[in-house]
């Protein structure tokens, strides 16, 4: 492969949009707001939230209202787009199959992911359908959402996400990009989308394996991710702020990287890594 292979191609504006199913949407939404996310759309019964960070979004859905058999803590890999039909056409040109259909709240779709698993596609809502709209501009510009994908093959997965515009920071200038990996190490590869798109993090599946969940015969299996973040906020200040808000957090000083680790209201570990300014 040449270095041109890694350059993001013009596309319909994919945004990282992990979907978390939870028994307590209100608590999870409050936690995400403490991190720095701002609500764009919520439900009056606190059963749903669409929240925005400086880059990337997160969807929170009550597991009690899920029709696809989701369990508490499941996190689907979703991507948001302004126009689902245009996205499908652009994806077809890139050799990625997408199926689009109508839901009660708008257009939705499914992509075939790097290993054939499902990746959901959600069109931005233009009609609130009774939900409550909010001004999302209060989202912390320092914070970015990361969808962490367990990957046993960095080259395959990085090449697939590059076709959607998510690449390693130095990938376009990397002289030896034959493996599509770019900067990083054998355990982690960060792929950043353009503008406010958010980040895909590729993580070697040790001890956790790549996982999907069945959503029914019509929609197939959906790729599961871990919810993570990166920020330009000082990590020690972030850890202190989270702890003061009732979410005990600790600063982890690793051999290769620093991070803040905190347990979210669903009982899952969330890691927040330093984010280099572009």
Decide which of 121, 138, 155 is a domain's last residue. Answer: 138
Of 117, 138, 159, the last residue of a domain is: 138
Dump pLDDT digits (tens) for 161-219.
Answer: 999 999 997 644 333 333 334 456 889 999 999 999 999 999 998 778 899 998 875 66
Question: What's the pLDDT tens digit per position in 7-44?
Answer: 333 345 899 999 999 999 999 999 999 999 999 999 88
Least trusted range by pLDDT, from 66-70, 155-159, 220-224, 249-253 = 66-70
Instruction: Quote the number of domains for the chain.
Output: 2
Residues 166 and 149 reside in one and the same domain: yes
Whether residue 33 is found in the same domain as residue 87: yes
Q: 46 falls in which pLDDT band (50, 70, 90)?
A: confident
- Residue 91 belongs to some domain of the structure: yes
pLDDT for the residue numbered 102: 85
37 shares its domain with 154: no
Complete DSSP assignment for the chain: --GGGGSPPP-S--EE--EEEES-HHHHHHHHHHHT-EEEEE-TTSSEEEEE-SB-EEEEEEGGG-SS---TT-EE-EEEES-HHHHHHHHHHTT--EEEEEETTEEEEEEE-TTS-EEEEEEPPSS-TTPEE--GGGS-TTEEEEEEEE-S-HHHHHHHHHTTT-B-TTGGG-S--TTS--SS-SSEEEEEPSTT--EEEEE--SSSPP-EEE--TTT-EEEB-EEEEEESS-HHHHHHHHHHTT--EEEEE-SS-EEEEEE-TTS-EEEEEE----
Domain shared by 48 and 118, yes or no: yes
Which of 129-133, 151-155, 204-208, 215-219 has the highest average model confidence (pLDDT)?
Answer: 151-155
Owning domain of residue 70 = 15-138
Q: How high is the pLDDT of residue 265? A: 98
**What pLDDT score does 170 carry?**
62
């Amino acid at each position: 492969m040449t270095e041109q292979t890694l350059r993001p191609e013009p596309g319909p504006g994919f945004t990282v949009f992990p979907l978390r199913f939870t028994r307590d949407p209100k608590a999870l939404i409050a936690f995400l707001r403490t991190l720095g996310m701002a609500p764009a759309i919520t439900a009056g019964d606190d059963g749903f939230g669409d929240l925005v960070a400086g880059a990337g979004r997160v969807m929170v859905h009550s597991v009690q209202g899920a029709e696809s058999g989701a369990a508490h803590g499941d996190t689907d890999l979703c991507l948001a787009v302004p126009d689902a039909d245009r996205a499908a056409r652009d994806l077809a040109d890139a050799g990625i199959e997408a199926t689009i259909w109508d839901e009660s709240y708008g257009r939705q779709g499914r992509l075939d992911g790097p290993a054939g698993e499902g990746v959901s596609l959600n069109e931005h809502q233009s009609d609130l359908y009774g939900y409550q709209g909010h001004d999302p501009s209060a989202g912390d510009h320092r914070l970015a959402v990361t969808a962490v994908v367990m990957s046993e093959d960095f080259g395959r997965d990085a090449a697939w996400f590059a076709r959607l515009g998510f690449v390693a920071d130095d990938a376009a200038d990397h002289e030896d990009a034959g493996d599509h990996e770019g900067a990083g190490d054998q355990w982690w590869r960060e792929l950043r989308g353009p503008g406010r798109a958010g980040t895909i993090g590729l993580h070697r599946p040790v001890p956790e394996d790549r996982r999907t969940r069945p959503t029914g015969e019509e929609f197939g299996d959906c790729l599961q991710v871990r919810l993570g973040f990166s920020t330009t906020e000082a990590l020690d200040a972030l850890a202190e702020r989270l702890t003061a808000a009732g979410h005990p957090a600790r600063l982890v000083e690793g051999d290769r990287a620093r991070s803040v680790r905190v347990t979210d209201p669903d009982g899952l570990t969330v890691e927040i890594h330093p984010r280099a300014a572009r």
